Amino acid sequence: MASEEQCSAPPQWRSISLTHVEYPTGDLTGQVLAFMSLVPIAVLVGFVTLIVFKRELHTISFFGGLIMNEGLNWLLKHILQEPRPCGGHSSVTTEYGMPSSHSQFIWFFVVYFFLFLYLRMHQTNNARCVELLWRHILSIVLLAVALCVSYSRVYLLYHTWSQVVYGAVAGLMMGVIWFFITQEVFTPLFPKIAAWPLAEFFLVRDTSLIPNILWFEYTVTRSEARNRQRKLGTKLQ
């Protein structure tokens, strides 16, 4: 919990425009951590963009899990009703702080992504070491981001350590549960769902059996572009 000195004489807070995430004026570390606490917003924007342009069922399921995770956080906060530490913030989304929604969100995302990289993409285990290295590097980066986002909530006096830790535990558990529900329950149904007339109308697709979708799309696009260029060249002759 915040100390009595912090409660009686809170620092002057300055917010990042449009987000109202506040940090102590003149505190460079606090400013950096305030920007780090915006990572969940960037993740949500990224998901919406992917869903709009890719319309892939696994991505939609992943996003659905994030929304359910947020709903669980809201429910836990209103059941436990533990107040936030005294930080002098002018605006917070809710007066309750247990568990931390930022911590729960980012750890759900990270653990699900870990499982996706190392279990869902198991078909690429026979690839070259250089091709596998990026997974380890990405995992380390995501872990560092999750730790920074969690720490930022304590540093900026939005949450106590216990609120952040319990949020992380809840997010980890939800991420593991939702990953295996997606893999064992939803994934076998994806081909049928993709064949629905409504799914075909909205161009919803299932890429569950394609281990490296980026490489697949690259090769298919390159091949199609060459075929069209060849046909165009033939017509111009």
Query: Domain check: are 119 and 41 in the same one?
Result: yes
Query: Domain check: are 15 and 60 in the same one?
Result: yes
Which stretches of 156-236 are DSSP H helices? 161-181, 190-194, 197-201, 213-236
| Entry pTM | 0.79
Query: Domain check: are 225 and 178 in the same one?
Result: no
Asked if the model's pLDDT at residue 88 lies above 70, the reply is: no
Query: Domain check: are 226 and 169 in the same one?
Result: no
Of 151, 25, 159, 5, the residue nearest 97 (C-alpha): 159
Per the structure, the count of domains in the chain is 2
Query: Domain check: are 141 and 216 in the same one?
Result: no
The stretch 82-104 carries a mean pLDDT of 76
Of 1, 30, 41, 17, the residue nearest 152 (C-alpha): 30
104 vs 165: CA distance, rounded Å = 9
Query: Domain check: are 143 and 77 in the same one?
Result: yes
37 vs 22: CA distance, rounded Å = 10
pLDDT digits (tens, 9 = 90+) for 57-84: 888 999 999 999 989 999 988 888 888 8
Q: Which residues form the domain of 31?
A: 4-206
pLDDT digits (tens, 9 = 90+) for 134-163: 778 888 999 999 999 988 888 888 888 888
Give pLDDT, residue 234. Answer: 66
Query: Domain check: are 23 and 59 in the same one?
Result: yes
The DSSP element (H or E) to which 14 belongs, if any, is: strand 13-15
117 vs 155: CA distance, rounded Å = 31
Give pLDDT, residue 39. Answer: 86
Owner of token pair 């285990």: 125
Query: Domain check: are 159 and 223 in the same one?
Result: no
Give pLDDT, residue 19. Answer: 59
CA distances from 120 to 56, 58, 63, 116, 136 (A): 15, 11, 16, 5, 15
Asked if the model's pLDDT at residue 1 lies above 80, the reply is: no
Query: Domain check: are 56 and 152 in the same one?
Result: yes
pLDDT digits (tens, 9 = 90+) for 151-210: 888 888 888 888 899 999 999 999 999 999 998 898 888 888 888 998 888 888 888 877
Query: Domain check: are 134 and 161 in the same one?
Result: yes
Distance between alpha carbon 194 and the CA centroid of its chain, in Å?
Answer: 24
CA distances from 112 to 15, 19, 66, 210 (A): 31, 26, 10, 18
108, 177 contact by CB (below 8 A): no
Query: Domain check: are 117 and 192 in the same one?
Result: yes
Query: Domain check: are 14 and 130 in the same one?
Result: yes
